[in-house]
Copies of this chain bind each other. A is one copy, B any other.
């Protein structure tokens, strides 16, 4: 089914909502843990459910290379493949291909690149990306976009944005009216469009206007979290988001830190994904109520207390900082598990608090409190 969206409450520009997909509802604002290869690193699906994860993101680029879309399709899609029965969003592969830089060639048709796995040449057109995402059977698919590098001149950003808009139209044409096996019929989910335009506000608005010629069940802001300053990112959001249709979910791709998420929610964004909680966890950077802790710090060596006394997660209830540091030093897999579980709990708990604050009409106060508390950080790492 095509996802639907309902706004429940508003608080300034922020809102709580319910995004309904083939595999169930997502209460927004929501954070999507990243499951690059069809696994949110170190986590089992039941653990994600226990943490309150409502939806995960998987990467089309990685999955088309390994194991390939046909193998996932043979499992009735990603839900069967990875044993996750809640909603899944897949990206288009664009962002990763553009990150390859020297290994790729962009034409109007699409992108050709060398596979980082085996060096073979791979083609990714808007139609290819749709075919892969249809086979993955995601609840939400993303249009293929040309991700504008940072920095970019106005002319570069315009050319890149205009290509993205032509690819968005081709993505839309190809996705709708097609089933998971490429035959005619209803697709398994819905396709979101992506606004590009770099740091240039006028281009962002032109991109949005171009997209509005078609029916998208949601719109994303792409091309951020690519190296710009916080001020530039917030500037783009403030120029763009008020013009995005209020009745559809707004997804800020690849952002970010807890404070970035709060700033974006304050400006009307509903959906987020980022590798920070999971990747930081594996590097020993752990989010707590008083800031980010580096568990590798020798200060934690003999600390028998929990990581965060204010946290109710499995890790904090059952293990000491000393044990977490020990597991990290010994490269024990359980260390990655316990750290990831804690960081995801932190993010998902943050989203629950944000939703509650919006519903109570006190998001601004919540945001102020949150940012103030983090100034007590002991190990400045993030």
For residue A310, CB closer than 8 A to chain B, the reply is no
Give bound CA distance, A82 to B318, whole Å: 9
Q: Which of B37, B81, B322 contacts A71 (CB 8 A)?
A: B322
Closest to A332 in B: B39
A302 adjacent to B334 (CB under 8 Å): no
Could you say which residues of chain B place their CB within 8 Å of the CB of A83? 318-319, 323
For residue A253, CB closer than 8 A to chain B, the reply is no
One digit per residue, 1 when the CB lies within 8 angstroms of any chain B CB and 0 when it does not, for chain A 321-338 equals 011011101101111110
A23-65 at interface with B (beta carbon < 8 Å): 37-39, 41-44
B302 adjacent to A332 (CB under 8 Å): no
Could you say which residues of chain B place their CB within 8 Å of the CB of A325? 67
B75 adjacent to A332 (CB under 8 Å): no
Give bound CA distance, A163 to B84, whole Å: 58
Closest to A45 in B: B318
Give bound CA distance, A288 to B178, whole Å: 41
Give bound CA distance, A186 to B39, whole Å: 49
B66 adjacent to A330 (CB under 8 Å): yes
For residue A356, CB closer than 8 A to chain B, the reply is no
A38 adjacent to B326 (CB under 8 Å): yes
A302 adjacent to B74 (CB under 8 Å): yes
CB A337 to nearest CB in B, in angstroms, measures: 7
Q: Which of A81, A323, A337 has the most CB of B within 10 A?
A: A323
Closest to A40 in B: B334
CB A271 to nearest CB in B, in angstroms, measures: 24
Instruction: Given A67-B326, A81-B320, A323-B75, verify A337-B302 contact (CB < 8 Å).
Output: no
CB A324 to nearest CB in B, in angstroms, measures: 11
Give bound CA distance, A326 to B322, whole Å: 34
For residue A304, CB closer than 8 A to chain B, the reply is yes
CB A318 to nearest CB in B, in angstroms, measures: 5
Give bound CA distance, A325 to B41, whole Å: 16
A322 adjacent to B43 (CB under 8 Å): no
B41 adjacent to A304 (CB under 8 Å): no
For residue A289, CB closer than 8 A to chain B, the reply is no
Instruction: Given A66-B326, A81-B320, A326-B66, verify A41-B332 contact (CB < 8 Å).
Output: yes
B71 adjacent to A302 (CB under 8 Å): yes
CB A167 to nearest CB in B, in angstroms, measures: 28
Could you say which residues of chain B place their CB within 8 Å of the CB of A326? 37-38, 66-67, 71, 81
**Which residues of A come within 8 Å of B, CB atoms?**
37-39, 41-44, 66-67, 70-71, 74-75, 81-83, 301-302, 304, 318-320, 322-323, 325-327, 329-330, 332-337
